Amino acid sequence: MTFKLHPLVIVNISDHHTRVKAQTHHTDDGSGSSGGSGGAATAVRVFGCVIGVQRGRTVEIFNSFELLYDPLTHSLDRSFLEKKQELYKKVFPNFYILGWYSTGSEAQESDLQIHKALMDINESPVYVLLNPVINHSQKDLPLTIYESELHIIDGIPQLIFVRSSYTIETVEAERISVDHVAHLKPSDGGSAATQLAAHLTGIHSAIKMLNSRIRIIHQYLVAMQKGRHTGLHLLFMRLPYSILLFDGILAGSFTSDQEKKIGTNLSGRRIAGVENLVAVASHQWSKSPPESNLSARGESRVKARLETETRVGWSSEVQWSEPWCTEVATMDRWLDRGSLPLVEDFPVWDGSDKGGDVEEELGSNS
Amino acid sequence: MDSSSSSALARQTWELENNIVAVDGSSGAAGADADAIYFYDEAAQVKFQQEKPWAQDPNYFRRVKISALALLKMVVHARSGGTIEVMGLMQGKTEGDTFVVMDAFALPVEGTETRVNAQADANEYMVEYSQTNKQAGRLENVVGWYHSHPGYGCWLSGIDVSTQMDNQQFQEPFLAVVVDPTRTVSAGKVEIGAFRTYPRGYKPPDEPVSEYQTIPLNKIEDFGVHCKQYYALDITYFKSSLDSHLLDLLWNKYWVNTLSSSPLLGNRDYVAGQISDLVEKLEQAENQLAHTRFGSFLLPSQRKKEPEESQLTKITRDSSKITVEQVHGLMSQVIKDILFNSVGHSSRLRASLPDLTEPEPMVES
């Protein structure tokens, strides 16, 4: 399942936590808030519900609201949930309850109970966990999304939490307000010069980011070429910047069609296409023109890998045919020409988000 | 990393220029000072409400602090309404002469500009929502209302003014906020305004004219008639330490959206509307000029103390605003074009555009 998270949810949960923390710190008996569980003053957990839209395998979380938690029964107050749900339905009729959220450092056993209780509203709820501890050294959002899956452990089918990856999705207005509050664009008119400067600074920082990430990929690929890494980590295919890059480069020219594709968020098909492309390219490196020469086993293996390991479901629109020739050639120009290992050599990806590990690996090998 | 240090520097520069204060006290302070603004002191609020210092001075409240969450919710809600006006309520408290808006929620009413009593419809909703919120730990009261003016700027219309005057009579302290989601997207910055009305019959001291904003022709009368009946408050924003931290990290995943956003495409209709409005204003100015050609000798005696801007000057300003926005959008597109399409001919482009920060070549020779 693909998860898309809106920044509003993140700010909402963080605000909920901050409020409760502020309230409990100031009241003497520590029971001032009824929204959080009655835990220790330092580790107050807050609970709530996330709402949004689910289309097929894509789950998009738009908003959230608070819920009452009863520490005695380890469950969420049901009538309260229903009342709130009604209120939110009136204003946002399209949103359904997709799951619940909580704060803490990791998922706990008692959370499973809550999760199960919600399964009658949504057969496959999601659990969003935010770690409110501020750790300046971490580079990733301390937010994890868990799905529940039925696994057979010791012969007994049990429900366990499985981490899922997610992307940040946003509408333009949301992006601007988040930018505004986070990155402090000028709030009022100012002169035309300051506005221009602000606008360009924003783009400049984004491009700088893109540049630094690309350098990392490049270094990684060069190192790999020199034989220091055995596998093409599929993880780098997941990273959105590489997709954006490939999309732009593969396009070749900026037709209006392409503008739309970059302007709106990249479609799942495109992402699947790119990942497919990388797999094909790496497999067919020395051959030209690339055709679907993969053995049946290789082909099915790549398909299976891409289906399970990437966020996007396999798109039947992806073609293993001619049009990819030119795109592989373009990509060829970008990457140094060299031989890459075959698909079969890819290490099995264990599903964890190792976005930062590429840098670590490079650091250790340099 | 290089990028992080320069972005930190850029951030600090902006932080000084803009009134955003991260509510976290000094770095390393214990929990007591941090996020203190989030604490709701009920007793103090009740006392303040009994004192009613605003009753003596209609200009008492001067500033507004809006939390990151409230801003986000209001803008998202306003945008989701599209071209229909939507409204909602804001919760928070007052601190001296400042309104503090902690949260906002939407009301299930629409078309607030055409009906007088839209707020009354939502009373039941509001009561229920406030109740559930108090239970869930959101203790603040309703301190104001917000609504959207999609595409026509942040100001109070006639209906808004009378609604707010009633509010300020019966529900003090109360604040009115207007959001323009369309202009937010097209300009790339948040269009928001906070207002309080003067009581009926009160003559405000002559205030300097606030920042000029373009008003579409069909609304300009409504704006002009009532613009003296209310005043604007300064808006600043705040966020908690956790918010700042999360938003920082969010940027790591977020910059792709910044780069991929394309305001030119998203705002096609709005821009077309702006241009046609400008054309109408031009025609009107032209007609006026034709009529007063012979009366130009009378003008000097009629001149007021403040030189009133001629219509043509206003139109010029409007058109430059549209141009600036378009140029911004175009610049982003050009930058992206150079960035992504320069593979293969980067050297040629580099020679012709020495001013732009050079994108590093993708392939190192």
- Mean per-residue pLDDT of chain B: 73
- Chain B residue nearest residue A248, CA to CA: B340
Using a CB-CB distance cutoff of 8 angstroms, which residues of chain B are in contact with residue A250?
none
Region of A311 please: left (phi>0), alpha (psi -120 to 50) or beta.
Answer: alpha
B153 touches chain A (CB under 8 A): no
B257 touches chain A (CB under 8 A): yes
Using a CB-CB distance cutoff of 8 angstroms, which residues of chain B are in contact with residue A181?
20, 68, 71-72, 237, 239, 243, 247
pLDDT value of residue B220: 79
| A167 membership: H or E segment, kind and range | strand A166-168
Q: Residues of A numbered 40-79 whose beta carbons fall under 8 angstroms of chain B's beta carbons: which are they? A: 46, 48, 65-68
Write out pLDDT tens, residues A209-265.
777 777 877 777 777 667 655 444 433 443 333 444 444 443 333 344 444 444 333
* Per-residue three-class SS string for chain B: CHHHHHHHHHHHHHHHHCCEEEECCCCCCCCCCCCHHHCCCHHHHHHHHHHCHHHCCCCCCCEEEEEHHHHHHHHHHHHHCCCCCEEEEEEEEEECCEEEEEEEEEEEEECCCCCCCHHHHCHHHHHHHHHHHHHCCCCCEEEEEEEECCCCCCCCCHHHHHHHHHHHHHCCCCEEEEECHHHHHHHCCCCEEEEEECCCCCCCCCCCCCCCCCCCHHHHHHHHHHCCCEEEEEEEEEEEHHHHHHHHHHHHHHHHHHHHCCHHHHCHHHHHHHHHHHHHHHHHHHHHHHHCCCCCCCHHHHCCCCCCCCHHHHHHHHHHHHHHHHHHHHHHHHHHHHHHHCCCCHHHHHHHCCCCCCCCCCCCC
N- to C-terminal Cα separation, chain A? 37
What DSSP line would sit under A81-137, residue for residue?
HHHHHHHHHHH-TT-EEEEEEEESSS--HHHHHHHHHGGGTSSS-EEEEE-----TT
Among the partner-chain residues B237, B362, B364, the one whose CB lies closest to the CB of A181 is B237
Q: Which of A70, A80, A91, A335 to mutate against chain B (most B CBs within 10 Å)? A: A91
Lowest mean pLDDT among A151-165, B21-35, B105-119, B222-236: B21-35
Answer yes or no: do B71 and A171 touch at CB < 8 A: no
The model's confidence at residue B177, banded by pLDDT at 50, 70 and 90, is very high
- Chain B residue nearest residue A356, CA to CA: B252
Report the C-alpha gap between B222 and B160 in whole angstroms: 11
B336 touches chain A (CB under 8 A): yes
Report the C-alpha gap between A33 and B134 in whole angstroms: 9
Residue B153, number of CB atoms within 10 A of its CB: 17
Shortest Cα–Cα distance, B311 to chain A (Å):
21
pLDDT value of residue B294: 52
Helix ranges (DSSP H) in chain A: 7-26, 78-91, 109-117, 172-183, 192-225, 235-238, 240-251, 256-263, 268-283, 296-309, 323-334, 357-365
Q: Residues of A numbered 121-180 whose beta carbons fall under 8 angstroms of chain B's beta carbons: which are they? A: 132, 134, 136, 138-143, 167-168, 170-180
Shortest Cα–Cα distance, B234 to chain A (Å):
10
Using a CB-CB distance cutoff of 8 angstroms, which residues of chain A are in contact with residue B107?
91
Using a CB-CB distance cutoff of 8 angstroms, which residues of chain A are in contact with residue B71?
177, 180-181
pLDDT value of residue B138: 75
Task: Tell me: pLDDT of B98 over 80.
Answer: yes
Two structure tokens written together for A69: 């938690």
Using a CB-CB distance cutoff of 8 angstroms, which residues of chain B are in contact with residue A263?
260-262, 265-266
Using a CB-CB distance cutoff of 8 angstroms, which residues of chain A are in contact with residue B335?
203, 207
Q: Residues of B numbered 69-88 whose beta carbons fall under 8 angstroms of chain A's beta carbons: which are they? A: 69, 71-73, 75-80
Answer yes or no: do B20 and A184 touch at CB < 8 A: yes
Q: Which of B254, B320, B327 to mutate against chain A (most A CBs within 10 Å)? A: B254
pLDDT value of residue A245: 46
Closest CA to A70 of A100, A36, A96, A93: A36
Per-residue pLDDT of chain A (366 residues; tens, 9 = 90+): 788 888 888 888 888 888 888 877 765 433 333 333 333 335 678 888 889 988 888 889 888 888 887 777 777 788 888 888 888 888 888 888 888 888 888 777 778 888 888 888 888 888 888 888 877 777 677 888 888 887 777 777 777 888 888 888 887 788 888 877 766 544 444 556 666 777 777 777 777 777 777 787 777 777 766 765 544 443 344 333 344 444 444 333 334 444 444 433 333 344 444 444 445 444 433 333 333 333 444 445 544 444 443 433 323 223 233 333 333 333 433 343 333 333 333 333 333 333 333 333 344 333
Pairing state between β A58-66 and A47-55: antiparallel
pLDDT value of residue B178: 92
Answer yes or no: do B243 and A248 touch at CB < 8 A: no
Answer yes or no: do A168 and B257 touch at CB < 8 A: yes
Report the C-alpha gap between A335 and A307 in whole angstroms: 25
pLDDT value of residue B112: 58
Task: Tell me: pLDDT of B29 over 80.
Answer: no
The model's confidence at residue B8, banded by pLDDT at 50, 70 and 90, is low
- At A75, is the secondary structure helix, strand, or coil? strand
**Residue scoring higher pLDDT (B258 or B346):** B258
- A10-39 burial, b at 16+ Cβ within 10 Å, e below that, comes to bbbbbbbbbbbbbbbbeeeeeebbbbbbee
Answer yes or no: do A192 and B335 touch at CB < 8 A: no
B253 touches chain A (CB under 8 A): yes
Using a CB-CB distance cutoff of 8 angstroms, which residues of chain B are in contact with residue A136?
245
- Chain A residue nearest residue B92, CA to CA: A19
B151 touches chain A (CB under 8 A): no
- At A39, is the secondary structure helix, strand, or coil? coil
Write out pLDDT tens, residues B36-71.
677 777 777 777 777 777 777 777 888 888 888 899
Write out pLDDT tens, residues B257-306.
777 777 777 677 778 888 888 888 888 888 877 776 654 544 544 444 33
pLDDT value of residue A40: 37
- At A188, is the secondary structure helix, strand, or coil? coil
pLDDT value of residue B344: 54
Two structure tokens written together for B310: 């001629």
Q: How many residues does chain A have?
A: 366
